[in-house]
Structure 1
């Protein structure tokens, strides 16, 4: 048994996750009733990630800023620029795809009532209020904008603290990071439970009638992940970007696909950044920030579903309005929460651009929840893997300018 455990631990985490994924599929197809208790493994894994992520972000950011040495350059400006460009281009691609492959929806009246933002002012107000949220409440509710703002302020306030205080904060940061590694080691079991639950509930079969909508949604996200993001990376790195792109998709995208939460995937992304040898002072801020504002998948969802409603209602859209929609979807996506289905509640905001009533817009949201089994998984996978990709691209671009060799381990 000990030899078996040794061989298991010698496998890379990705290979162990693939094994867990295959076992979950087999159990869901062969013995869904008898194997139902494995669902708890997925719930425990996601719950543990969500619980540890806010504390990890708080201590990492506070420690990184308090111990930041003057003259040490970070890449936050480049990373934020990449986040915004990537999100806008994703929304633009979704708009173009929706014109080429128009989708009609079957809209009915009996959708559940869900509170949605009334306008762009409300979205921006919510973002600003999250910055000044009570720090304890921010940690409790996993409000990463609030966590980041207080961690940054505390970090700056502690810049002149005694070395013993900084060491203590660093020790706490290291301890929480170690706890995260323990949690991530249980990823294969967690993925097994999550994929079992996803398949056993029969969600995939229920999506057949929405095939065209899903094809446009998923097609846009795949195109962004495999074409747009690599082009951006190539422009920055001037070398083949696909080894890095595939590594990010493999090691971040897979877990994000099943957790369906950018926030829950923060510890996974932190671990991947460490493996890539990135600057901890940078990624400890850029990764949680990316989980909040880097929402290429959300921009795709908002654009495609909004234009599907527009096409269904027979509303004519000109090119300037389509470009405005791309910008609006990018801005709205930055306000999407990093939890499952977070982007869907911003669809009424985009629909308001075309004068679509809130009642009809909420029916579109209802359609979004129906296709959410796959849409949200692909969306989160794109969002979360891109956080690491752009953080790495910005860092590697700096290495290239300094003549340092860039090596991506497979």
Structure 2
């Protein structure tokens, strides 16, 4: 019993943290990590609470309880792959869940209940319910999507509730003694539930907005694809028209040298269709062939090294969106370069340690301005073309990937990292 008195709160908080860590991406050796961290933290608080006790008043008491929250953030960071802000978010959700369970148990106490088994049942029921109601529904693609606008008010509310709880009950086992205390515990629980419910609602709204953005993006890509296909058809029609006239000229000429010259022209004209690729992925083959054809017809040197056999985990439309937008940006940039020797686009795709690395390089002129870590479009119709880089990032993040951009000495480099399943 003494051991539980000294460690009950840290155990409750760690278990609550585990609820919200369960649905997200975990670090390697997750079970061993959280088990070791739990033993260390429980042992540490058992020793601390046994040697110096729990402060009963003043700022020391507040610092004491805040320490629990700080170590919980470290516990989350140690167990799952997340940023510091995401770890704080996870801890806040866990703290709110623990508060609700504690409030219900204290309300049970005012009715005269004293059973330790009842306490276990209450916590188990609350934790199970909150796992399915909140913990499973908050992450998106196994990650917590956290913004400063959400985190600050959420943290402020939970911290305020926690401070009130600390000073309302100076002893852990003092219980609820009157109607005022019952009302306070109900208000505290409802406040925590409200905070979590708002997060679930915002998460659902954000998920729906992403889907709507995806639909809008797909429409824009289809429209852009139609324009590209139409241009390719026009190119083919012109080439066919030229070939028809060259064949007629061949029939009429008897000069051997002139015939050889015509054959050279024909070979050069036919080479434009020699863009057939076999990367192992049809969607990738399509987008590479279309962009390669465009580059060849616009005097752009284009090199490509790609293995598409491991792209099976991506949808065809996502492959087209990712590579299509990346090449569109590169082509737009090199078209503005006047030096023909620098009208070059280089692309490669390889796998390193279960991570697919996609890198596209091109020359550019002028200065690049950034917003939110992405270069701002240089096209005049920003409302029509500004979705390119955002689409690339959106598609990469959909598969838990990241993108980085770098521009130095007139060379722009886009790198996309996609973890393989």
Shared fold (TM-score greater than 0.5)?
no
Taking structure 1 as the reference length, what is the TM-score of the superposition? 0.22
Q: Which structure carries more relative contact order (alpha carbon 8 Å, separation 6+)? A: 1
* TM-score, normalization by structure 2: 0.21
Structure 1 or 2: larger strand share? 2
